[in-house]
Structure 1
């Protein structure tokens, strides 16, 4: 069945998947005792944003196998008793090479980007590894099932660059209330450090050193790194710290009505919601997402002559090729090349 719609991120969705290549697995809950359920065992080893991402991958694979909507049933369908298929329902240990190869082929047909497909294949390999570790499948079946070529190809970088005027408008839209001061500090720090929204949400007061003006954080892949805070962001951060106080706990906290601080960590989604809310107040034409700020500052660093290795270290990328994909100078070189082309001017008298 061909894709019927696109989600806001541009990723094709299917109303349902009905493909004869798909593995014939019986999808029903309770097929395995919880303590030997590979889906839960695998996800239990992960935390935060990584857990959420891998859970989403396995749940989408489960819906592909079950032949149901990839984005899950609607609220009306749930009211009518439609099941919400998750990876916990799938007997992953019954998958063999022909089934995993079929899943890869179907994802290619859907039109997902190579990186998106490879992320799902990574989740698939990891849950099958737990099947082997739990002695639910043999080593031979496991190694054959995961013997899949990665998806090849490349897509344009996700997100967009944020103009300096847009960034200024976002900060201006933050008033001098405790909520406004906090939101301005979040926006300034996320931009000025190029950290991920999950990393911003996970910061503690102890993560920040006022003496050295650096953040020490644990990022993707459980890797610790130290990131300097740009002098441009310090006034915004220090204004928030004067309101927040020195009580141990999260650096950025939720606030109740009236400005009372709740010393709990915000979610990564709250960081995105802050940008959405301030973008509306600033009357921005296009919404700004946390990754847009990250993309912009990495591009700005490279534009300003920061070498690739340093930009990679600041961004916390494991692969320098990922950092290189943010380099806007490649587009400028292309533009200079095409600007050298010449065509005759149109005849002013022609209709």
Structure 2
């Protein structure tokens, strides 16, 4: 079953890979019968289309089932409402993480009940942890820091050009790192007199946006240099942002840059520029939205550019309310 093996490996190495299903899925699942084991694999392969969700849910389920096995459960049928509630109660994560894990557990059991492999869903009526967020926690960069970062790139080589284009594309388009890394060369195109980008968003949707002239300048420079100096052939379906060749300094490979490498790049670049080392891939989404709003942009337009279904989500990235001037503080007089 090679395809099953590859698919499960993609679920964040959620399950150890062996010779048969008993080596792919956790023992607690396999002990419930081979049909249950098959449906378990089918759930991750066929029911979760987004690879990031698949990875997160696979990790959550792995942790939960390992905990159940450590508590003595031998089959899925041994997992009760009390077991799920106890697991959620002792979970050390923050409310968002705990609720995501609960959703992953609940959806898996709902799928197995639907397949008539289990009589009940022990997670169905478990209540998650309450929390309220008015301002997001993603670190943003001040305008001067963003400029400092952009100016710090050594663009005498292709890797510097790639990294500058990638970071600025996220900042100027509010794009998620997953959507940017998923771009192929045809997703950067000329429409009328302007260059546009096509971002593949969650749920199979895509968003087309005109490209800011600065981002276009940087992206065009990256693509042109890769073509003229690196000999890259930009055929349809080829990744726009490519990884560095292994063992080769400052050379691009044919492989797509992945999230972990882009995260490490952002950390490395910010440290070298002497700015906020807490920055991550998502930082440039928050930075772009806040800068847009500070310069008179409307929240509903920011929501549309960011492809948020709810304006409250966009508002989490608006950090203007966090910026209290010293003049305001000096109004306090004892």
Secondary structure class of the residue paired with 2:208: strand
Deviation (angstroms), 1:238: 0.4
Aligned pair 1:173/2:153, yes or no?
yes
Tell me how far apart the structure 2 counterparts of residues 240 and 335 of structure 1 sit (CA, whole Å): 39
Secondary structure class of the residue paired with 1:254: strand
Tell me how far apart the structure 2 counterparts of residues 146 and 29 of structure 1 sit (CA, whole Å): 19
Gaps of 5+ in 2: 1-25, 228-233
Gaps of 5+ in 1: 1-25, 69-88, 345-351
Aligned 8 A contact 2:165 2:218 in 1:
yes
| Aligned pair partner of 1:98 in 70, 76, 82 | 82
Match of 1:206 in 2: 186
CA deviation map 1:311-331 (0-9, x unaligned): 122222233221112222333
Relative to structure 1, is the Cα distance of residues 215 and 90 closer, same or farther in structure 2, using a 3 angstrom cutoff? Answer: farther
Relative to structure 1, is the Cα distance of residues 91 and 233 closer, same or farther in structure 2, using a 3 angstrom cutoff? Answer: farther
TM superposition score normalised by structure 1: 0.73
Match of 1:162 in 2: 141
Aligned 8 A contact 2:28 2:69 in 1:
no
Aligned 8 A contact 1:41 1:130 in 2:
no
Match of 2:316 in 1: 325
Q: CA RMSD in A?
A: 2.9
Aligned pair 1:197/2:177, yes or no?
yes
Match of 1:280 in 2: 271
* Larger displacement relative to structure 2 (308-317 or 121-130): 308-317
Secondary structure class of the residue paired with 2:242: coil
Match of 1:343 in 2: 333
CA deviation map 1:97-134 (0-9, x unaligned): 22222233223xx3x33222221121112111221133
Match of 1:290 in 2: 281
TM superposition score normalised by structure 2: 0.76
Match of 1:23 in 2: none
Tell me how far apart the structure 1 counterparts of residues 205 and 61 of structure 2 sit (CA, whole Å): 24
Tell me how far apart the structure 1 counterparts of residues 330 and 74 of structure 2 sit (CA, whole Å): 57
Aligned 8 A contact 1:200 1:268 in 2:
no
